Amino acid sequence: MDKTDTITIYTDSDTKKSVESLCAEIGLSVSDAVNMFFKKSIQEHDIPIWEYEYRYNQETIDAIEVSEEMLRNPHLYKSYSSFKELLEDLDSDDDDDEV
């Protein structure tokens, strides 16, 4: 199918740069991405972006991985029977740091 019709889309400069960069990273032109969006919308008879998949930043991914490791191997980490015990341990750590 020939692509012969033109659609003009207005967006802010930052969004344009970001979407061009994203598309380039995955090997698409912005035009290809928009056409994919249109075809998916027609196929689903809906706007497909409503099913948003959140992507975490690397810091959050790392924190999730650490917490999952702690859950898998709790015997490798300190634990406390009460909040008071935790605070006492934190206070004793502060005392160790004093010179």
Predicted local confidence at residue 75, as pLDDT? 92
Predicted local confidence at residue 70, as pLDDT? 94
Distant-in-sequence, close-in-space partners of 19: CB < 8 Å, separation ≥ 6: 11, 30, 33
Q: Which of 48, 47, 64, 44 is nearest to 56 (CA)?
A: 64
Predicted local confidence at residue 99, as pLDDT? 45
d(CA 37, CA 20): 15
Predicted local confidence at residue 15, as pLDDT? 95
- CA angle, 44 as apex, 36 and 14 as ends, to 5°? 40
Please report, in tens digits, the pLDDT of each residue of the chain (99 residues total).
677 899 999 999 999 999 999 999 999 999 999 999 999 999 988 887 765 566 788 899 999 999 999 999 999 998 899 999 999 999 987 665 554
Instruction: Enumerate the domain spans of the chain.
Output: 13-50, 58-97
